[in-house]
Amino acid sequence: MAQSPEAGRLLTADGRWFSAAWLHSTAIVPFATPFGADDQVLERFRDGARAVGAASVFVLPLGDERPWVVGIDEDPLGVRGEVLLAVPNWDGAVLITDARYSLLAGTAEFLAAAVPWGVDRSRARFGRDARRLAEVYPELLEVAARLPPARPVLASPRDVEPGSALAEQVRLMESFAEGSIAAPDFARAWPAARRRRPHPEELLDEPFERLLADVFFLLEDYVIDPGLRDPGDLTDEGLRHGVQAVVQRLRLLEEPRRG
C-alpha cells in the first residue's frame, strides 16, 4: 500500500497497524468503525490532540493523495477512505482503516484525554462490539483478540464474583428495591459494603460504575433520622424509588445487545 513518508513513520508496511518503532506504549485503543470515520472517533482524537497542545492536525491518506494540514477545530477533517490523523509532534494519532476498525494511540497524556475512562474499558467495549457484529464483520474479532483488556472489566452484575463486597452492594440494592430492607438499614449497609470493595483491583465498565455512583449520590441526599431532614432531602420512599430505577437499569446491562 502506498504511504507518504509521514504515514510510513507511524505505520506498519501494510498500513493496518501502528509501527512498534513509533508507539509510545502498548496501549492501543480500538474502535469499531464499520462505516469509516465517525464523530465519536474523531472527537476522541481531537480531545487527545488538544491535551498535548496541538493546534493543527496532519491528514495523511493511505493512498496516492498528498498529506495536508487542518486546524484542530475544523469540522469535518476532510476524511475520506483510509487515513491516518496525527498531531504535528507525533504525540498521538488515529488510524482509520477500511477493515471496519480504527486504532488510537499516543502518549499517556494524549490517551488520558482521549479515553478518560481508560484503555481497558475501551478495549472491553470493543470486544463486546466485535462479538455483536461478528456475523457481518468477523475481522473485528481478530482485532479484539489482539487487543484484550489487561484486566477483567465487569460490565454488569452477572460478572461480579459471588460473595464479594460488590456482590453485596448489588444484593442490598435489589433487596431494598423489592421492599425487603428498610431505608435506614440500606443507608447504613450499602456504604459499608462500598468501603469494603477493593477498588484498585475491580475495574467496572463505565455504565455499571455510573449506576453505582447514582446510588451513592442518592444516599448523599438522604438523612436517616427524619427529624434531621431538611426540605428537599429524600424521604424513605424517595430513596426507594431512586434505587428501584437504578436496579432496573442494572438489569438492562445484563440483556444481550442487539446490532
pLDDT digits (tens, 9 = 90+) for 124-164: 999 989 999 999 999 999 999 999 998 889 989 999 999 99
Q: How many CB atoms lie within 10 A of CB 26?
A: 10
Architecture per CATH, 157-253: Up-down Bundle (1.20)
Mean pLDDT of the region 58-64:
83
Contact indicator for 197, 166 with CB cutoff of 8 Å: yes
Which pLDDT value is given to residue 56?
Answer: 93
pTM of the model: 0.75
Residue-averaged pLDDT of the chain: 90
197 vs 170: CA distance, rounded Å: 12
Which pLDDT value is given to residue 259?
Answer: 40
17 vs 84: CA distance, rounded Å: 11
Where are the domains positioned within the chain? 5-116, 157-253
Percent of the chain past pLDDT 90, that is, above it, reads 68
Q: How far is CA 118 from the centre of its chain?
A: 6
| Of 93, 98, 19, 18, nearest in space to 52 by CA | 93
Percent of the chain past pLDDT 70, that is, above it, reads 93
Which pLDDT value is given to residue 152?
Answer: 87
Element (H, E) at 83: strand 83-86
Sequence-distant (≥ 6) Cβ neighbours of residue 43 within 8 angstroms? none
Locus of grid cell 460504575: 209
pLDDT of 79 above 80? no
Q: What angle do CA 138, 144, 148 make, to 5 degrees?
A: 160
Q: Is the dihedral of CA 58, 110, 119, 47 positive or negative?
A: negative
Max distance between CA atoms of the chain, in angstroms, equals 75
